[in-house]
Homo-oligomer: A and B are copies of this chain.
Amino acid sequence: MTQALVEEEQLNPADLRTIWRILTPDERVEAFHLLARDDAEEFFLGLSAADLASLMRALPRNERRSWMRLLAPDDAADLVQEVPDDEREGLLSLLDDPTRKEVTALLAYKQDAAGGLMNPRYARLRPDMTVDEAIGYLRRQARTNLETLSYLYVIDDQQRLLGVVSFRELFASPPERTVREVMRTDLVTVRDDQDQEEVSKVLTENDLVAIPVLDADGHMKGIVTFDDIVRVVEQEATEDIQKLAGLEALDEPYLDIAFSRMFRRRAGWLSALFLGEMLTASAMAYFEDEIAKAVVLALFVPLIISSGGNSGSQASTLVVRAMSLGEVRLADWWRVVRRELASGLALGSVLGVIGFLRIVIWQAVSPLYGEHYLLVAVTVFMSLIGVVTFGTMAGSLLPFVLRRLGFDPASASAPFVATLVDVTGLVIYFTVASVILAGALL
């Protein structure tokens, strides 16, 4: 494919984006060089930090400076964080002095804190400028590398944030008023050490394009803009999804992550779940006599326990996602329990009826289940109601318990809930069986 591209000697950014993943670093450089300069710049600025890092490391040394200087300080900091420690200094040295200082300051923040997301270049105004002076000043600034002009931040000489004025408000204000008179002082801000998930909530709840980031002393350090937040929202959802499937969040694209790293993130939970699931072998051993006497009971074990697991994973996922979105809070636990108790009983009855009918109808076709098939069918019916109700309750309560204990509710994964429910499901099933089949099969 690259061969064809090289022959054509021209390429557009959209095509390159499509094939990017399947190219080696060297092929990427080759293809990147085929873009027209302005297309290349657009393409470059749209790359993820990981892709930027690998491209930058593959580019010839003499080209790196100009590309590095194209990046906004927050993007440059993200790139630098993606390269091995011993190459960081080399990349930083390509920047001009003031930018290097900004980037180095950003590197001190955790990547998932507001400080790690923010851009230190925002549009500043002084409170005593007139609206006309401010617009003239911005018109000169607009040529420089500011992240956004949508909001203008009014700063005192100690870099403390006094107010904010949207460009549109400034623009629509009488020319001779001062900035102080038109600015808003009911400020929505975040602290530089706040987690990105909180920043994302504050920004979206207030419908803002950008939000100012202050340090502990109230000095303004930068702004976080919506485009950083879209990535955060996506990233947090991916983390939730991966945790819900019973693995540690990968934090890297699936096809890019090293095999060994992916293996560790999957093997940990899988082994832990396996150890938990071993309790099923103990539970089964406890009922070994019953199984030996009535092998027919063993036939329905996978069906019964998987129903508990499936209903439990539905419930836990609904609650976990609702918690992530802020729809359900810790205080709502009692409402959730009542809802899920009703859901569990209703869903369990549906499955119970299907299970009952299946045994009775099958028996009419081929008599697999012996003379006591009706009692077996009743056992399965009642067990399903019990197991599904228990699964639903366990699945919906586990996220609350985890959050209460300070863990991430998303750890209440489908496999975790299933493992919890499997053991109890076996106990419910064999207990129901020993009551109903007493004197008949047992």
Asked whether B350 lies within 8 Å of A172 as measured between CB atoms, the reply is no
Asked whether A230 lies within 8 Å of B204 as measured between CB atoms, the reply is yes
Asked whether B17 lies within 8 Å of A307 as measured between CB atoms, the reply is no
Contact mask for chain A residues 245-286; partner B; CB cutoff 8 A; 1 contact, 0 none: 111001001111001001100110111011101101100110
Partner of A21, one of B148, B280, B327, B350: B327
Partner of A241, one of B241, B259, B263, B306: B241
Could you say which of A52-60, A63-71, A341-349 contacts chain B?
A341-349
A277 CB → nearest B CB, Å? 5
Contact flag A288-B295 (CB < 8 Å), given A317-B245, A328-B255: yes
A435 CB → nearest B CB, Å? 21
Asked whether B206 lies within 8 Å of A209 as measured between CB atoms, the reply is no
A138 contacts the other chain (CB 8 A): yes
A154 contacts the other chain (CB 8 A): no
Asked whether B274 lies within 8 Å of A307 as measured between CB atoms, the reply is yes
Residue of B nearest to A395 (CB): B245
Could you say which of A87-95, A100-108, A211-219, A297-305 contacts chain B?
A297-305
A405 contacts the other chain (CB 8 A): no
Asked whether A310 lies within 8 Å of B351 as measured between CB atoms, the reply is no
A157 contacts the other chain (CB 8 A): no
Partner of A263, one of B46, B309, B346: B346
Q: With the chains together, A305 CA to B207 CA distance in Å?
A: 48
Q: With the chains together, A255 CA to B323 CA distance in Å?
A: 11
A187 contacts the other chain (CB 8 A): no
Could you say which of A2-10, A25-33, A109-117, A411-419 contacts chain B?
A411-419
Residues of A296-350 at the interface with B, using a CB-CB cut-off of 8 Å, are: 296, 298-303, 305-307, 309-311, 313-314, 316-319, 321-322, 325, 327-329, 331-332, 335-336, 339, 342-343, 346-347, 350
Contact mask for chain A residues 167-188; partner B; CB cutoff 8 A; 1 contact, 0 none: 1100110000000000000000
Residue of B nearest to A14 (CB): B205
Q: With the chains together, A287 CA to B313 CA distance in Å?
A: 29
Q: With the chains together, A189 CA to B6 CA distance in Å?
A: 29
Contact flag A46-B335 (CB < 8 Å), given A263-B346, A281-B302, A291-B295: no
A27 CB → nearest B CB, Å? 15
Indicate how many identical chains form the complex: 2
A189 CB → nearest B CB, Å? 13
Q: With the chains together, A307 CA to B309 CA distance in Å?
A: 13
Tell me which residues across on chain B come within 8 A of A253, comparing CB atoms: 322, 325, 327
Tell me which residues across on chain B come within 8 A of A335, comparing CB atoms: 255
A442 contacts the other chain (CB 8 A): no
Asked whether A263 lies within 8 Å of B347 as measured between CB atoms, the reply is yes
A118 contacts the other chain (CB 8 A): no
A434 contacts the other chain (CB 8 A): no
Contact mask for chain A residues 404-442; partner B; CB cutoff 8 A; 1 contact, 0 none: 000000000011001100100010000000000000000
A224 contacts the other chain (CB 8 A): no
Tell me which residues across on chain B come within 8 A of A303, comparing CB atoms: 274, 277-278, 280-281
Asked whether A247 lies within 8 Å of B314 as measured between CB atoms, the reply is yes
Residue numbers of A with Cβ under 8 A of B are: 17, 21-22, 42, 45-46, 138-139, 142-143, 146, 148-150, 167-168, 171-172, 204-207, 209, 226-227, 229-231, 233-234, 237-238, 240-242, 244-247, 250, 253-256, 259, 262-263, 266-267, 269-271, 273-275, 277-278, 280-281, 284-285, 288, 291-292, 295-296, 298-303, 305-307, 309-311, 313-314, 316-319, 321-322, 325, 327-329, 331-332, 335-336, 339, 342-343, 346-347, 350-351, 354-355, 358, 368, 414-415, 418-419, 422, 426
Starting from the known contacts A22-B332, A254-B318, 9 additional A-B residue pairs (CB-CB under 8 Å) come to A149-B168, A241-B317, A253-B322, A254-B322, A259-B339, A263-B346, A267-B350, A273-B306, A280-B302
Some 28 contacts from A to B, beta carbons below 8 A apart, are A45-B207, A46-B205, A142-B168, A150-B209, A209-B226, A233-B234, A237-B237, A240-B241, A244-B245, A244-B317, A245-B313, A245-B314, A245-B317, A245-B414, A250-B318, A253-B322, A253-B327, A255-B328, A255-B332, A266-B311, A266-B343, A267-B346, A269-B314, A275-B354, A281-B303, A291-B298, A306-B422, A414-B414
